[in-house]
Structure 1
Amino acid sequence: MTLQADNEKASGSSFSINNHLDIQLHDIERPSISSHPRFTKDDVKHGITNPSSEVVKNVNSIDWDGPLDRQNPLNWSTSKKATNITLLSLITFLSPFTSTMISPGTQSLMTSFNSTSTTLASFITSSYLLGYAFGPLVLAPLSEIHGRLPIYHVCNILFLIFNIACAVAPNLGALIGFRLLAGIAGSCPVTIGAGSIADMIVREKRGGAMAAWMLGPLFGPSIGPLVGGYLTEATSWRWSFWVPAIAGGILTILTLFFMSESYPPAIIAKKTAQLIQTTSNSSLVSALQSPLAPSALLKQSILRPLKMLTMSPIIFLLSMYTAIVYSYLYLCFTTFPTIFEEQYGFSQGSSGLAYLGIGVGSFIGIGIGGFLSDRILKHLTARHAGKPKPEYRLPTMVVGGFVVPVGLFMYGWTAEVKAHWILPIIGTGLLGTGTVIAYLASSTYLIDAYTTHAASVTAASTVFRSLLGALLPLAGRSMYAALGVGWGTSVLAFISLALIPLPFVFYVCGQRIRESKRFSVEF
């Protein structure tokens, strides 16, 4: 699959088979019901279940039963799509929520383990994010081999187990180790959730669905400390792990009963197996089956996110952009206890309220980004002879790019001069708004541009973002100690200012880069 081929499919209107590999995940031209073919039992027995002449030539090739096939996730009922997206959004919310819930209770945790190391204190949060960095490298490939659903189920169960282990950890080393494992399991919905959205929602309506799903990774981290602060104050820091474990157990049960498989190759593979069993025709094969052996396919899929990062300038630079601005949020999370408890005199419980600035800002960003994304796409498509391009997602990223440094400057300098506490919180709110708008635009653009490998491109971006999100907070305390909160935050703002031209460049040159022979890489 080349970048050029992937782009050519972006404007397609139906599912197609090309060497049993290429899957088109865009809108379907829906013919009248009368044109939908009927198949006899003999047709099914001999594998004739697709009306296209291309597939009928191979009578043993099993595909969708025409463009109206209800098994196709794009054709699911609205209620079925809503159920799956709601469950997906909830488990995606729980994982980032868990990543920061312990933040206000870190000092209490360190005291209980008789440790005064500030580096280890920061690593309580960073170890979870390191799991986010390593998990996608395995989980995304596995989802493209075995389907999304079994990966969700296994990771939900592991997430539950490792959070229980954190809650009963006897020492700091065990806690950090279990946090890492919980982060790996928790990275699942964040990594492959975008792929599930692409499976179910056509491109023209995907912006709103992506906005709803992204409430989790973008709003969850700011709600976690609010709950964790009061919970630690009322009980103990261990309940910052018991609560995610309980919620994870409930969601595990709900997903087991109500979530459906959405990955087309997995659905067709199951359909093929059922037809083989009912017709005794062992020659039937899935039209979407890879010719590679499972071991070779796993190796190829594991390497794909790394190849995407290293060989595609678009994926690398946009992933770097979102990684930098996203890591600023986690850097703020590690500095909030110092600024708001020591400087402004907040209690451990009320210090969690300081995180609401980012939460409210993120919510506003979701509203703005989700509202504008699909509308700008439709407007620009209409202006260009009805031909949509992934690059039409990027204008909203420019808006977010300008808001991020404004929020950083406001947060840093109002905290530096000890202005009223509401002002730095408003600054973090602007940071949250800008980050979400930029992140939403970038993620939706990458999924539209590389839909076939949506899980892998999301994994590539998640790896970059999580590594930086884990490492930057470790250096944040030292930076603020040396420069102060004003100039320290200004350094971050100047970096984000330097990145503003990126979406302009890719809006103008993105399609040309993706179609060029130099960057036409087989993933």
Structure 2
Amino acid sequence: MTYTILYGLTTFAAQFNSTTMTSNNFLEEMESLYHLSRECALLGTALYILGIAFGPMMFAPMSEMYGRKVGVFIPFFISSLFTFATSISYNVAGIMVTRFFAGFFSGAPIVSAGGVLADIWSPGARGAAFGLYACFVSTGPSFGPVLSSLLISSSSSSESWRIPQWFIGLVDLFMIALCLSTLEETYEPVILSWRARDRRLDSKQWNIHSLHDTWKFDLRETVSVHLIRPFAMLATPIVFLMALYASYVYGLFYLIITNVPEAFFLTKGWEGTQGTLPLISLFLGVVTGSIFNMLWARRYAQIIDRSSDKTIPEQRLPIMMMAGWLMPVGIFIFGWTCNAKIHWIAPCIGIAFIGAGFITIFQGSINYLVDSFTKYSASAIAANTFLRSVFAASFPLFAKQLFVNLQVSWGSSLIGFIALGMIPIPFFFFKYGRKIRAKNPYSNRVS
């Protein structure tokens, strides 16, 4: 459990950094200092998330070649350096470039940490472990605006936006030092390679090698596996529709995070840190949804124990079918109660529903893809990560215009109706997924 928590906290820090530039007082300071529009001020967030989209394509093979610790913490250390570089940048170009590379290198813990869980947990216990890990991944962004706003408000400097960047950079370094001093390598091929090296040196028998020692880096293979195959899999029905569903709710998740402060300012006049406090209800919703996921993971383990199959992908879907409605309902509650006449608790309940619905859909879709394409699960997850990062980077850029032009009520209704239209996706695959997988060249063998 120590490994799950520490790698989860590392990922929490990487995700937390993605939204430190979304609080209203940060955006207003950037707009004033650099004469930017709201959309341009949000580019720091968008570019960080786009960096996360591309980073896994480089760091997934790195963790398989040199081990999880090297593949996670060296890139994460470089990410922290770029975060410090953001804090000392004095022009918009410098801020945007350093934010992109901070996100690019932070993609390592976000993606490769999942491999650690696969290393240390059995298939039956893995669902609950991934549920806890997903909770860390998803709660990080909800705290970014709150803490960023608190740090900025505590300073009287005209450039207090730099303080959150220093803070998260120091948190990153602390997590790196803690994990490197506490955790051992978990990737078995690398561990066996180290043992073979030690025996070779001790016995002077130079022919002792592990299978991993014979593996050589092949650029063509790396491009095929980590660049071409994810996009090829994205063209298949299961990967495309499940990734589309997960990406849409992921985009909505970031849209809500970046625009809840704006919505409460427009409707209730809440400014600064006060406007970010409703995001705590998003955190509570994600935690509640994660509990749902872990409870269903136990139920799934019982189903597997009674079956001759190692995995039954369609049994990952009922949690999405049961709880997928929470997100659109939460969006409607938030949109139609976030006004001056209704108590603030009502839209916060809607935001909590959004968080619970998001995490059940998001985690359920990933579990389904992993179980459907076990051999090529890394490529399936890479395709999912790329598409969801594109959605998450782009959605906040049009959200202000959405809420200003259509108002909070109808703007929320528009995105809520689209979310409603995606609810049938898991029902469809629950009924027809087995037949579709049987025709998919990348899927597990269907008996």
Whether 1:174 and 2:100 are equivalent positions in the alignment is no
Pairwise mapping of residues 23-422 of structure 1 onto structure 2 (< 5 A)?
A: 82-104=1-23, 105-111=25-31, 113-235=33-155, 236-287=160-211, 293-303=217-227, 306-307=230-231, 309-375=233-299, 377-381=300-304, 384=307, 388-415=311-338, 418-422=341-345
2:369 is matched with which residue?
446
Q: Give percent identity, aligned residues only.
A: 30
Q: What is the rounded CA distance, in whole Å, between the counterparts of 1:232 and 1:106 in structure 2? A: 7
Tell me the SS of whatever aligns to 1:270.
Answer: helix
Q: Pairwise CA RMSD of aligned residues?
A: 2.4
1:51 is matched with which residue?
none
1:61 is matched with which residue?
none
Greater C-alpha Rg: 1
Report which stretch shifted further, 344-353 or 503-512.
Answer: 503-512
Question: What amino acid maps onto 1:238 in structure 2?
Answer: R
Q: What is the rounded CA distance, in whole Å, between the counterparts of 1:519 and 1:209 in structure 2? A: 26
In proportion to residue count, which structure has more helix?
2
**Cα displacement string for residues 255-309 of structure 1 (whole angstroms, at most 9, x for unaligned residues):** 2222222222222333333333334444444335676643333223322552454
Distance 1:341 1:479, change over 3 A: closer
8 Å CA contact 1:192, 1:458 repeated in 2: no
Question: What amino acid maps onto 1:351 in structure 2?
Answer: G
**Cα displacement string for residues 361-405 of structure 1 (whole angstroms, at most 9, x for unaligned residues):** 111111111122222x13433564676413222111112311111
Alpha-carbon offset, residue 222 of structure 1: 1.0
Query: When the two structures are superposed, what TM-score results if normalisation uses the length of structure 2?
Result: 0.91
Distance 1:366 1:450, change over 3 A: same
Question: What amino acid maps onto 1:394 in structure 2?
Answer: L
Question: What amino acid maps onto 1:188 in structure 2?
Answer: A
8 Å CA contact 1:97, 1:224 repeated in 2: yes
Question: What amino acid maps onto 1:485 in structure 2?
Answer: V
Question: What amino acid maps onto 1:159 in structure 2?
Answer: S
Whether 1:488 and 2:411 are equivalent positions in the alignment is yes
Question: What amino acid maps onto 1:132 in structure 2?
Answer: I
2:439 is matched with which residue?
516
Tell me the SS of whatever aligns to 1:103.
Answer: coil
8 Å CA contact 2:233, 2:442 repeated in 1: no
8 Å CA contact 2:311, 2:371 repeated in 1: no
Report which stretch shifted further, 167-176 or 284-293.
Answer: 284-293
Tell me the SS of whatever aligns to 1:197.
Answer: helix
Q: What is the rounded CA distance, in whole Å, between the counterparts of 1:384 and 1:215 in structure 2? A: 29
8 Å CA contact 2:19, 2:141 repeated in 1: yes
8 Å CA contact 1:152, 1:188 repeated in 2: yes
8 Å CA contact 2:247, 2:387 repeated in 1: yes
Distance 1:278 1:511, change over 3 A: farther
Tell me the SS of whatever aligns to 1:166.
Answer: helix
Distance 1:360 1:433, change over 3 A: same
Distance 1:124 1:386, change over 3 A: closer
8 Å CA contact 1:162, 1:178 repeated in 2: yes
Q: What is the rounded CA distance, in whole Å, between the counterparts of 2:75 and 2:58 in structure 1? A: 12
Q: What is the rounded CA distance, in whole Å, between the counterparts of 2:443 and 2:356 in structure 1? A: 35
**Cα displacement string for residues 454-491 of structure 1 (whole angstroms, at most 9, x for unaligned residues):** 44433221111111000111122223333222222112
8 Å CA contact 1:401, 1:496 repeated in 2: no
**Cα displacement string for residues 17-45 of structure 1 (whole angstroms, at most 9, x for unaligned residues):** xxxxxxxxxxxxxxxxxxxxxxxxxxxxx
Tell me the SS of whatever aligns to 1:169.
Answer: coil
Distance 1:242 1:305, change over 3 A: farther
Tell me the SS of whatever aligns to 1:179.
Answer: helix
Runs of 5+ unmatched residues, structure 2: none
Number of residues of Structure 1 aligned to a counterpart in Structure 2: 440
